[in-house]
Amino acid sequence: MNRLIAKRGLLQIFFALQLVIGIMFIFNYIVYKNSISGIYEKVSDNNRMVIKNVIQSFDTSFSSVNNLIFNIHALPSDRILTDAGGLDMEKVISLQDSLTSIVSNLDIVEDVIISFNDRDLAITTRGTSSLDTLFDRRYISQRYNSMFWRNFMRSEHGFTVFPAEDYADLNSGYGRNLMVAVDGNKVRMSNKNLMIFIDVSKLLKGIDLNSMIPGASLIVLDSNRNVILSTEKDLDLVDILNDVYFNPSQEASLTNGNYEYNFYKSDYNGFIYINKLPYKFQNIDSVTNANQWIMYGAIVLAVLLSLLLSVYLYRPVKNIVKLLGGNTLKGNDFVKIQSGIIKVQRENESLKKQMELVEEEIRRGVFLQTLDGQSHSREQEIQMQKQYTHFFQSRHFVMAAIYLKPDTESEFVLEELTATIRKDLAECYEHAIVYHTEHLKFLALIGFDQPSERMKIVQKFEQFLEAAKKGYLQSFDVWGCVSRSYESKISNCRAASEDIKDGLLYRHVNEDNCVIDTERIRYVPELYFPLQEIEKLSNCMLSGKVEEGLRIVNEIIQENVSVQIHHHQMIHIAKSMFFIVLQQVESSKADRTELFRLESAFIDKVDQAFTYKEIVDALVEVIPVIANMRNHDPRSKLNPAFITQYIELHYMENLYLDHMAEVLDTSPKYFSNYFKKTFGVNYVEYLNKVRLSHAREYLRNTDLSIAKIGEMTGYSNSSTFTTTFKRYYGVSPSEYRKTSGK
């Protein structure tokens, strides 16, 4: 009888829930059968007013653009072209200044380009350049290139607005969404060709699109029905436009599928504005009433359901009271109690697993604290000592490190990877404890009894890594390191950790073994860093000889590999060459943010490199980038900084006046006059002073012969060197060497 009552209560709950589901279905069906048409007309009327305001705002913006075009055409430009066919740069600069002043008053304009049919010259608000440079670097489009714009502007056309799209800028690295307005040339107002770049975000910012119906979008077409702006991507209007005939004095609308399209035509320029909005709502009052019925019905059903559940749950509650020592009642039902006991058992199992995880994390924390070398409080030391027996169960130990570098496509779960490594090492050794420390670095304590067993420990570790590389670590670059053997004391963990760090730094760059034994590492004092080759590398960057520079870099790297230098030494060599190359970038004209990003990325790649080949790849990758960041415009070389730098780097060569003029793309006479005016001394005097300053350093600090020093400093024979030295310093080179020695 009691069991039957329990089943009847279960049926009551079941049918009550079915009743709720049925009633809610009926209410939802009522809501489904009614739509919000009652408010649709009001919303549509308000939306029409919003759209007309939007059209007025667009007309105002395009009117401002037209006024801007007339003002620019009115700027004088007849005398920019000289009689000789060149450009009067003073007139060009004056025109550019006037253009900047006019455009500054219209914030929706991103830039204005003035060009001429017979010149590859583009005058913008930011300066002047060639059309190819402008459209290949500052305004890069997937659809239009410089050839398209040049041909279009030279062809006969009316005022044209091109669709909005993204234009990339190589200098800043950012893209902008722009519309391009090109003035018409059927009736020439001046000899200028104008292109107006309109910032779409600023254009839309001045227009309140949020006032439209939610879910609505706006599309703007020019007078030829070409889409020039749309707030909705991937919109196909071909079929819709074919069904619409535009009356200049009327509006049009069209329903297609679940949307309604309202068409408006601008009285100012004939542009067509399409407002796409969802279609269609009905009977908002009925929806409101239905929602009220749903609310009232849900309340009533909730009360009824509570009563039914209370009646059913009363008897199990009494049974629980009985189990806890309450009064004896008939009709005991232990179903709920048994399910509660099962739930508690499951929770205990889960709690037990959580406690094991917490205990393991505590041990990991204790292990990591032993590596930091810091002193701890007495209470902390006592708590840590409770875990020491877990770490050491043998007389001696070594610390082994595993470094992993994942491939770009590798997928893994860190906890599962740690558990797999711990399991495999436990199978290789009697006692091995593994912890994940940082990134993909794992540290293991491997115990053994006799010091002579260390070599076997290392060999097993190598076999373990080789097998793992062919198995579950095949998508990783794997590197391991083993410390020296230590007595099993917690204080020795710090020293073993330092061995691991030294192994990472002092491993040989051409090490083939994936496991580094710190006892086999030997210091390598011989570094190959020839100053003459480094100076050549700097010269190559200065003169744009990238291939020659890369050859010098590879030769220096390979020479250091042949003498088996340490990994950290190779890092220092690579960084030194990087900063020497980086010095050749003219920072005043380069993008400093890009230089900082380039430097940070290079240092990160080098510091994280596993092999010297990764260091070489990083260096080879960055050198052409730095070379391309230099200013290759020959006219920029005719400045004091470049001239002094070039002389300082090439003073040992035959720097005749003709040679310098050729380097600087100018005539010898002009260069001589420029040098005298800029430096206050003639070129030959300056060159002799630079050469003799280096010669004095050689005389003071080396035992080279006088003839050799003269040859190294750019003098063809020793007599010329001696005569010139005595003329400037009053003593011969040999006498100067004796005096400086004393």
How far is the first Cα of the chain from the last one, in angstroms, to the nearest whole number?
123
What was the pLDDT predicted at 378? Answer: 66
Q: How far apart are CA 356 and CA 570, in angstroms?
A: 45
Q: How far apart are CA 383 and CA 405, in angstroms?
A: 35
What was the pLDDT predicted at 84? Answer: 61
Q: Which of 252-256, 411-415, 469-473, 554-558 is the least confident region?
A: 252-256
- pLDDT, one tens digit per residue, over 576-613 is 888 888 776 665 554 678 788 888 888 888 888 878 88
- pLDDT, one tens digit per residue, over 76-131 is 766 676 666 667 777 778 878 887 888 888 888 888 888 877 777 888 888 888 88
What are residue 137's DSSP bridge partners? none
Instruction: Inform me whether the pLDDT recorded for 545 exceeds 80.
Output: no
What was the pLDDT predicted at 313? Answer: 53
- pLDDT, one tens digit per residue, over 373-384 is 666 666 666 666
In the numeric block, the tokens 């991937």 are attached to 234
- pLDDT, one tens digit per residue, over 398-410 is 888 888 888 766 6
Contact 590, 629 (CB under 8 A): yes
- Band of residue 41 on the pLDDT scale cut at 50, 70, 90: low
What was the pLDDT predicted at 158? Answer: 80
Mean pLDDT of all residues belonging to the chain:
76
What was the pLDDT predicted at 37? Answer: 47
What was the pLDDT predicted at 249? Answer: 52
Instruction: Inform me whether the pLDDT recorded for 193 exceeds 60.
Output: yes
What was the pLDDT predicted at 108? Answer: 84
Contact 130, 101 (CB under 8 A): no
- pLDDT, one tens digit per residue, over 129-149 is 888 888 888 888 888 888 888
What was the pLDDT predicted at 722? Answer: 92
Q: How far apart are CA 277 and CA 215, in angstroms?
A: 6
Q: Which amino acid is at 449?
A: D
Q: Which of 47, 33, 43, 29 is nearest to 283 (CA)?
A: 33
What was the pLDDT predicted at 257? Answer: 67
- Rank 324-338, 467-481, 532-546 by mean pLDDT and report only the highest: 467-481
Q: How far apart are CA 397 and CA 495, in angstroms?
A: 12
Instruction: Inform me whether the pLDDT recorded for 385 exceeds 80.
Output: no
pTM higher than the cut 0.75: no
What was the pLDDT predicted at 334? Answer: 44
Instruction: Inform me whether the pLDDT recorded for 360 exceeds 70.
Output: yes
What was the pLDDT predicted at 379? Answer: 65
Say which residues have a Cβ less than 8 Å from residue 135's Cβ, sequence separation at least 6.
141, 144, 145, 146, 149
Mapped onto helix, strand or coil, the DSSP state of residue 117 is coil
- pLDDT, one tens digit per residue, over 11-37 is 555 555 556 666 765 665 565 445 444
Mapped onto helix, strand or coil, the DSSP state of residue 190 is coil
- pLDDT, one tens digit per residue, over 203-244 is 887 676 666 777 677 888 877 777 878 777 766 665 666 665
Q: What is the DSSP letter of 235?
A: -
Q: Which residues of 643-676 are buried (b: 16+ CB within 10 A; e: fewer)?
A: bebbbebbbeeebebeebbebbebeeeebbebbe
In the numeric block, the tokens 């913008």 are attached to 124
Instruction: Inform me whether the pLDDT recorded for 674 exceeds 80.
Output: yes
Contact 414, 442 (CB under 8 A): no
- Average pLDDT value for residue range 360-369: 74
- Band of residue 522 on the pLDDT scale cut at 50, 70, 90: confident
What was the pLDDT predicted at 298? Answer: 65
What was the pLDDT predicted at 314? Answer: 53
Q: What is the CA radius of gyration of the chain?
A: 41
What was the pLDDT predicted at 20? Answer: 62
What is the length of the chain? 742
Instruction: Inform me whether the pLDDT recorded for 628 exceeds 80.
Output: no
